[in-house]
Structure 1
């Protein structure tokens, strides 16, 4: 019995000693935090202090000295080009604008040619393309051609494949458009800020050989987020204090999102592009769809999944197709239901209506 009690008493004493308050603790038993501990504190936009100025810059409001009115009300519209010696030449200007994501809700946006998303560049596989970029932002920038096969010098990675385009400077990208598929272009300089602020757009490469069964309706849907606090725009991030409070499809939050009207019996293609920092499971009401391409690459027919929800992660692209079999107004929305709110008010955010008519 003695052999059992002695070890038990020793263990009990050790436990009580560990639980006793330390004489080194602050009043209220609150231990002082180390520098590493303090870095784990909840961030508040605009008030978080950091030793690293570059990190602190990420938490500042998005501003510019020369903010202009938006050049249009809809983003992602086709960009016109001119042809020079067989090369398709496009021109882009980065500029800061006031962009309305919803009636009465405006953000400060960094844009290509004054809209969010920027204009859609649409070419054919094998085309020689030249894109002339003029930077009118207060900060340097670059463009990355996400998923497109380009020469290394055209990849748009700052201080690796090119020097950043300084304010007031111009840079020319040139490459052969390949492969066919759904792609995008976006800033690769301080991407947390510049992409979140609106520097993104679709880049569609059509196949050289015409499709045997092209869709009657072909829409690009770029999915992103915004953070607006007390009238100031911030770059939303997946961290405490920086989560977005607005969610957008092609730069708009419901009910300002586009209503897509199709005819009963139409083959419809939707091209989802995840350009934000969060995953969005997009759910279609009324009819199942097939996933016909992922990240710009076609899925063989035998491998095409039939689904009603597809999760679109940052940087991913999914082409889905369906036949509109029933008339009526059908909802397409993110199934993380908080993402269908505007500043925590339903309905809003990542929702749009597909209107099927006779």
Structure 2
């Protein structure tokens, strides 16, 4: 049995050096810890709730027993403040998935209760290989003065900050690469609101998996932008053809600024692939 311990609590989280949000977090980080599994694993997730309100955890896209699925008041009683719940199941799939709150997700997921769930196939030869592997989890935030609000697609609640793996550019990662190398980018729509057209500079990539399902070779296709909606996942393989700093970014320009301000050439949903 593979065992994971997860705790939900409130933390103060810096999305930029000078911008902190009041976040809901798994294990004191946004996103939550990356859960690595292998197809066929039997897993037990010991969950404890240190939030001031009830919550649950949903395993997005996974085939699990109904009582392990997570929707509050539908498949389980909400986990009260101070309470615990054990999720246990056998992993029957492989690919890119995620987990998130399924009790008041409009605010709980928006405030940081999500994390990647990456499952390796039982047969290693079934995995689409690349030299590097990088996961991109998207989110939208609303920060006004010292207060953090859950961002929503409604008047007065639209987001003004956007993050990749809990950070806004220029605090996002710079990924070092060499000419000729390939990188598997796992785009995960852990965000609550927008469809984000995620674009990579420097030439097209190959879309190799959608929503955790690896595409047959004949079904894979070349693109330079994928529209990542809430809940969706795309695995794409990009080849570093030429040296330079190649951007990965959302193609909605407002989403590449920080509170409508550009810093060091952009903001929000941007990161750099630095090819030597």
Same fold? TM cut 0.5? yes
In the alignment, which residue of structure 1 is the partner of 2:228?
312
Distance (whole Å) between structure 2 residues aligned to residue 281 and residue 214 of structure 1 = 24
Answer yes or no: is the 8 Å Cα contact 1:268–1:321 preserved in 2. Answer: yes
Answer yes or no: is the 8 Å Cα contact 1:265–1:325 preserved in 2. Answer: yes
Q: How many residues align?
A: 271
- Relative to its length, the structure with more strand (as a share) is 2
Mapping of 1:37-116 within 5 angstroms?
Answer: 87-116=1-30
In the alignment, which residue of structure 2 is the partner of 1:162?
76
Larger relative contact order (C-alpha < 8 A, sep ≥ 6)? Answer: 2
CA drift of 1:261 comes to 1.1
Say yes or no: does 1:333 pair with 2:252: no
Q: Could you list the runs of 5+ residues in structure 2 that have no partner in the other structure?
A: none
Superposed CA RMSD: 0.9
Answer yes or no: is the 8 Å Cα contact 1:178–1:205 preserved in 2. Answer: no
Mapping of 1:70-219 within 5 angstroms?
Answer: 87-211=1-125, 214-219=129-134
State the SS of the aligned residue for 1:339: helix
- Indicate which of 191, 203, 208 corresponds to 1:292: 208
- Relative to its length, the structure with more helix (as a share) is 1
Distance (whole Å) between structure 2 residues aligned to residue 303 and residue 107 of structure 1 = 41
Distance (whole Å) between structure 1 residues aligned to residue 240 and residue 259 of structure 2 = 32
State the SS of the aligned residue for 1:158: coil
Distance (whole Å) between structure 1 residues aligned to residue 49 and residue 20 of structure 2 = 23
CA drift of 1:214 comes to 2.0
CA drift of 1:328 comes to 1.1
Distance (whole Å) between structure 1 residues aligned to residue 157 and residue 238 of structure 2 = 36
CA drift of 1:211 comes to 2.9
In the alignment, which residue of structure 1 is the partner of 2:136?
221
Q: Could you list the runs of 5+ residues in structure 1 that have no partner in the other structure?
A: 1-86
Say yes or no: does 1:270 pair with 2:185: yes
Mapping of 1:334-349 within 5 angstroms?
Answer: 334-346=250-262, 347-349=266-268
